[in-house]
Amino acid sequence: MVNEISIEQDIVKTIRGILGESPLLLHEPYFVGNEWLYLKECLDTRFVSSVGKFVDQFEKQLAEYTGSKYAIAVVNGTAALHIALKLSGVENDDEVIIPSLTFIATANAVSYCGAIPHFVDSEESHLGIDPIALREYLKSMTEFRDGKCINTQTGRVIRAIVPMHTFGHPSKLDELLALAKDFNLELIEDAAESLGSYYYGKHTGTFGKFGTLSFNGNKTITTGGGGALLTQDENLAKLAKHITTTAKLPHRWEYVHDQIGYNYRMPNINAALGCAQLESLPSFLKSKRDLYESYRRGFENLKNVELISEPRHCKSNYWLQTIKLSWEQKNLLDVRNRVLELTNDSGVMTRPVWRLLHSLKPFELCPSMPMVVAKKLEASLINIPSSAHLLPKDE
């Protein structure tokens, strides 16, 4: 029988054997291209705020890279998701289905609309919303009134569903799109973590009415702080750009605003950083895939530990490399915590998956389904060092 006490030592030894003895952070930005050149141009021309050529250039390049017809750059991924929900018809007192296993920004954006997060379970292979369990759950507790999906327990309209592509691994989009159609829900993708990930050859964030991206400092590429909306609808794209620019009507000098708007536009200096980062994205993705392969070889003979791999028919960006402790282990949460303690004490930064959102104080009264799989994932998933530059040069 495997001695559970040895698991944490084995994990540290495996990671150190691959990456060496230097301190290892979880995910650092990597600047090896034209970042300094483009930032200097912003400073030299003094176009550092929301006006400047790099904003338009970044949006164009994002649309081209993802295959989306339109991309609208904003200040962060949460702002992108807020506007996507608002323009998808989410209103005060509506419910929006989101996974409990996600970063809190997903739930916060729903709350910004005055809506209520409705938390649902995840599944093991993709780490996203479980469409089979969710379908049975909705069949048991909803009904249609005037074409709207009604939660019979609360009387509220369930307006939308927001799958999140966990750590860059695409959710089961075909089944979720079918579910959204059957229950008359708008589908908005939280693709904050999945730039460079594909589902059956199509980029994540381009399946629903909107997709949203994040370019925070710890993402695959960064603009410092930033996000974007993706949409295939020209009118929605124009409206999104308008209301994220304080809903100001174009004029040479007059300040006329035709509705409540938001100061959400991405500054030019951030977009300049993004343009340079996009140029390096293919090499970042290759390096992260190479890192995955090195981890795969290192962990393949380690008992009770599994490296998370991209799902079938998907191409993941491997934003955060992730190990899963065996669910059969006794006291799984204690084992996870020992791993986290020893790795971090040893200079190997690791992190657990997020605390399930339905258990947090701001959301503890929100509706939720039984979290059979999500609770196991919460107790077993650990993110390990994932930066694009980690492998030695001879790898």
Q: Tell me: the pLDDT tens digits for 31-42?
A: 999 999 999 999
Q: Tell me: the pLDDT tens digits for 326-355?
A: 988 889 999 999 999 999 999 999 999 999
Q: Which CATH number fits domain 35-278: 3.40.640.10, 1.10.3720.10, 3.40.50.300, 3.90.550.10?
A: 3.40.640.10
How far, CA to CA in Å, does 169 sit from each of 5, 130, 221, 296, 303? 31, 14, 16, 16, 24
Q: Tell me: the pLDDT tens digits for 229-269?
A: 999 999 999 999 999 999 999 999 999 999 999 999 999 99
CA-based torsion, 62, 232, 125, 339: positive or negative: positive
User: Which pairs with CB-CB distance under 8 Å and at least 24 residues apart come from 212-216?
Assistant: 212/77, 212/80, 212/81, 212/84, 212/188, 213/62, 213/77, 213/80, 214/76, 214/77, 214/80, 214/105, 215/77, 215/270, 215/274, 215/277, 216/76, 216/77
Number of C-beta neighbours around residue 174 at 10 A: 13
Position 393 confidence tier, pLDDT thresholds 50, 70, 90: low
The whole-angstrom separation of Cα 26 and Cα 349 is 5
pTM: 0.95
How far, CA to CA in Å, does 183 sit from each of 6, 106, 115, 148? 48, 21, 18, 8
**In degrees to the nearest 10, what's the CA dihedral of 143, 148, 149, 153?**
-70
- DSSP conformational letter for 384: -
Position 50 confidence tier, pLDDT thresholds 50, 70, 90: confident
In residues, how long is the chain? Answer: 395
Judge whether 329 and 304 are in contact, CB under 8 Å.
yes
At the fourth CATH level, the homologous superfamily of domain 4-29+281-383 is Aspartate Aminotransferase, domain 1 (3.90.1150.10)
Q: Tell me: the pLDDT tens digits for 153-207?
A: 999 999 999 999 999 999 999 999 999 999 999 999 999 999 999 999 999 999 9
Q: Tell me: the pLDDT tens digits for 258-305?
A: 999 999 999 999 999 999 999 999 999 999 999 999 999 999 999 999
Segments of the chain assigned to CATH 3.90.1150.10: 4-29+281-383
Judge whether 376 and 41 are in contact, CB under 8 Å.
no
Quick check: 395 pLDDT over 60? Answer: no
Number of C-beta neighbours around residue 29 at 10 A: 21
Tokens 């300040």 map to which residue? 255
Q: What are phi and psi of 324, to 5 degrees?
A: -125, 125
Segments of the chain assigned to CATH 3.40.640.10: 35-278
How far, CA to CA in Å, does 308 sit from each of 146, 242, 304, 342? 43, 40, 13, 21
Average model confidence (pLDDT) across the chain: 96
Q: Tell me: the pLDDT tens digits for 63-108?
A: 999 999 999 999 999 999 999 999 999 999 999 999 999 999 999 9
